[in-house]
Amino acid sequence: MKHLALSALIAATLALPVSAETIRIAMNDAEDIVTNGEFAFVEGFRPVAEAGGFTVEVFPSNALGNEEERLSQTTQGLIHINLGAATAPASMSPLLRMTILPFLFASTEEFDAVMARTELLGNLNSPLLENGVRIAGFNVRGLDAGFFNTKTPVATVEDLQGLRMRALNKGQVAFFGALGVSSTIVDWSEVSNALQTGVVDGYVNPPNSALRTGHTEFLRHYTPAALAPSFRAVMVSEDWYAGLSDEARATIDAALAAGFKANRDWLPGWAAQVDARFAEAGVTVTELAPGERDRLVEMSTPIHAQLLGEEGLERVMGALNQIRGQ
């Protein structure tokens, strides 16, 4: 019944009359400028697009469906810009799995440099364009990812091995498996219930994932492990984008650039609040013991080739080495 109701809502919403200048932006989170970096992107994008003659309509909180459904609608041109999971189109472009690999990119700044100054973004987009979608870039969700859990302070790999973790996808299952940690894939919409019922004991995410969702009611422990920068993709309908006039496309490009700048400008202000918000929520923050991060790196790095393939990993490392050598 829930799926049927959602389908009916999507059909009714997308059937509404819209002028040719309206841009539909869909995302999975709330219109909250404080905790949601994706909404910061929207707030940067909107004024530039509207100054260029467009109207921007935002559909937050999965109003137009989950990650898979929104991606499908974007490929069809029903959604013009989808703020979604970076790995959602990975079945079309497997190289996108690089965005969640632990200890691959040293920082958000390094990732941004790779996207801006190498051919890697083009490599990501090549198979996506054939399927009606392009990735314009990536939003940051907050600080680098760490370990949340409901049960115990985590300072060592062995502490993790006593937990059952929620995995985003098979890539995270492989990551946890490399650490000797059990895991199970749980859709984000079901995570709260899974934590409450003990189906899983925790997850890997940046701090604001738990803070903005209220999961800190159950997740009482956090370990900042700097596993990886935390990205979500800005996916653009290729049919819609390609069909714009040169002038309109230039406006959209400028609006996208303004959105990415607003997202990056949002991050320092949010980062400054994290410790106080954890304290207010009663979350215990535990640092990794000396040498444990090196152990995590050593144990998990072999999954890079496993998930990207040798050719994919060679492309990513070639781009990284190009930036690191500049």
The pLDDT mean for the chain works out to 93
What are the residue boundaries of the structural domains of the chain, listed by start? 2-141+231-269, 146-225+273-304
Please write the tens of the pLDDT for every residue from 247-263: 999 999 999 999 999 99
Best CATH choice for the domain 146-225+273-304 from the list 3.30.70.100, 3.40.1190.20, 3.50.50.60, 3.40.190.170: 3.40.190.170
Gyration radius (Cα) of the chain, Å: 20
**pLDDT grade for 1, boundaries at 50, 70 and 90:** very low
Fill in the amino acid letter for 103.
Answer: F
Overall pTM > 0.85: yes
Let me know: does 236 contact 136? Beta carbons within 8 Å.
yes
Q: Evaluate if residue 231 carries a pLDDT over 50.
A: yes
Report the C-alpha gap between 37 and 209 in whole angstroms. Answer: 11
In percent, the amount of the chain with pLDDT more than 70 equals 94
Please write the tens of the pLDDT for every residue from 24-57: 999 999 999 999 999 999 999 999 999 999 999 9
Got the DSSP string for 215-246? Answer: GGGT--EEE-------EEEEEEEHHHHHTS-H
Strand order of the β-sheet with 221-223 is 182-185, 164-167, 202-205, 146-149, 221-223, 284-285
18-to-65, 163, 210, 283, 286 alpha-carbon distances in Å: 19, 49, 36, 45, 51
**pLDDT grade for 16, boundaries at 50, 70 and 90:** very low
Report the C-alpha gap between 82 and 84 in whole angstroms. Answer: 6
Same fold: 2-141+231-269 with 146-225+273-304: yes
Q: Is residue 1 helix, strand or coil?
A: coil
CATH entry 3.40.50.970 includes domain 2-141+231-269: no
